[in-house]
Structure 1
Amino acid sequence: MRVVVTRPQHSGERTVRRLAQMGHEALLLPLAEPVHHVAEAGRALLNTRGAIAVTSAEAIRTLASLGADLAPHLGRRLFAVGKVTAKEAADLGFSNIAMSEGGGAELATLISGHPASLGGNPLLYLAGSPRAPGFEAGLTELQLPFVTVECYRMHGITPENAVLRRLFTDARADAVLLYSHQTAQRFFGLPFVRENPEAFAETRFLCLSEAIAEAVPARMHSQTDIADMPNEDRLLSFLIQA
């Protein structure tokens, strides 16, 4: 199958490799790029004690830029969403990692089961912007104290029409992978996508969650599949079924 991946360059390249190993023709279309706020992350670590939470591997990549200044914090309890984020944290040197397989709400539930990990201190959430509200809402509902520090921001990218024609009209795309609500909004908001609906008449839109699928235009709902859990393994399983 011909599959378009709408992830940022770093994570998208990893997904492209996975798809190629599955026998698909994978094409990368980044619609956002991260800007890391390394100084803010460093100050947040210095000004807090106890556990850290991350819901994206991009936060771990921000921490990697701290170099030797990160060393005193590698023993802190780290709560992470997903095995990819957990692995990047382990590769960076974190030694006390707990992982949630679901999304932000599931991570909040996991943390509530380990209150001793907080050590009486607010949880430090190293977040990105924009982000889904589920994790912070879950912490609030569970009455878990936390402080949020934005350590990276995703800036939108508008691809040239020549790139979009190559991906969608020179040859049909069988599937488009959508990993965030903001990315889905950017994709369907592109003038090329709005003005060339016939190019997507047979394309499947594979969404990591229901919140992401909400950004798919109503006329394309019948072409949309939603992963039953918000992780890439479940998302890519649609391509195996096909």
Structure 2
Amino acid sequence: MRVLVTRSPGDAERTARKLAALGHAPVVAPVTRIVPTDEPRPVEGWDALVVTSAHARDALALLPDKAPQVFAVGPHTAAAVREAGFADVVAAEGDARSLSGLIRGSLPGGRTLLHVTGRHHKEEPAASLAAAGFRVLAWKAYEAQRVEALPPSAIGALRTGQIDAALHYSRRSADIVLRLAEEAGLTPTLRTFPHLCLSADVAASFQGLGMATLAAARPDEEALLALLKGLP
């Protein structure tokens, strides 16, 4: 199958290698680029860190104190945290709900947490942690910046009907795909193949426009790629 991959460049290249190993032909079309925001980190102290994306790695590497415990959303993010120099890292199951539960079960309420996150981020896990009595400081250290247009290779493949499926990892990138496709006059083409999504929330962007979607059984890449096996 020819599979459209719309992740940011580094992530897209890693996914493309996995797809090639499975016998598929990836069509890489990053719709975002990860850039630092240069936002200063909070001056208050914190008891532990919360990390919801491997994109936080470069920012974490800048922190002078690598002793605090880090709660990562999943194994891939945990590996990036360790690469940044932290040793005491605990991984949740890949989603904000399990991350919040892990923290609430590990630390007493009242502790201060530093959430190293992107400029565009969801309310969870911070909302449920705050409700449980934690003080959550947000450091918006990076941003998934929208690209100006889909790459010519992807536009060509879409216009000539060469895409058999697309992979989508976040609600923000899904919305950007739809916007860029509309600007290129390609929205009807997106209805000709299924959109495989990391979660139901990601899939909602396409379902609202009547496009075929499938959501992964778990919020991780292995479960997402497994959806390809069920396609005709």
Same fold by TM-score greater than 0.5: yes
Q: 1:233 aligns with which of 208, 222, 230?
A: 222
- Percent of pairs identical after alignment? 29
1:62 positional shift: 2.6
CA distance in 1, matches of 2:200, 2:207: 13
TM-score by length of 2: 0.89
CA-to-partner distance for each residue in 1:75-116, whole Å, 9 max, x for gaps? 210000111111111222211011011311210110001115
Shift of 1:175: 0.9
Q: Cα deviations across residues 40-82 of structure 1 (Å, max 9, x unaligned)?
A: 2xx43x6423200010111113323x2xxx3x42221000011
Q: SS in structure 2 opposite 1:53?
A: strand
Does the 8 Å CA contact 1:57/1:88 hold for their aligned counterparts? yes
Secondary structure of the structure 2 residue equivalent to 1:230: coil
The alignment status of 1:2 with 2:9, answered yes or no, reads no
Higher deviation after alignment, 152-161 or 15-24: 152-161
| Count of aligned pairs between the two proteins | 231
Q: Structure 2 unaligned runs (5+)?
A: none
Give the secondary-structure state (helix, strand or coil) at the position aligned to 1:127. Answer: strand
Question: Which residue does 1:177 correspond to in 2?
Answer: 167
How far the C-alpha of 1:194 sits from its partner, in A, is: 7.3
- How far apart in 1 are the matches of 2:173 and 2:200? 14
SS in 2 for 1:195: coil
Letter in 1 for 2:26: A
Q: Root-mean-square deviation (CA), in Å?
A: 2.2
1:48 aligns with 2:45: yes
Match of 2:137 among 133, 140, 147: 147
Matched, 1:167 2:164: no
The equivalences for 1:49-128 within 5 A come to: 49-64=46-61, 66=62, 70=63, 72-115=64-107, 121-128=111-118
2:185 maps to 1:195: yes
Q: TM-score by structure 1 length?
A: 0.86
| Partner amino acid, structure 2, of 1:103 | D
Structure 1: 4+ residue segments shifted above 6 A: none
> Which consecutive residues of structure 1, in runs of 5 or more, have no partner in the other structure?
none
Contact 1:172 1:199 in 2 (8 A): no
Q: CA deviation at 1:141?
A: 3.0
Distance 1:191 1:114, change over 3 A: closer
2-structure distance, mates of 1:164, 1:193: 14
* Contact map agreement 1:187 1:193 (CA 8 A) in 2: no
Structure 1 residues 149 and 198 mapped into 2: Cα distance closer, same or farther (>3 Å)? closer
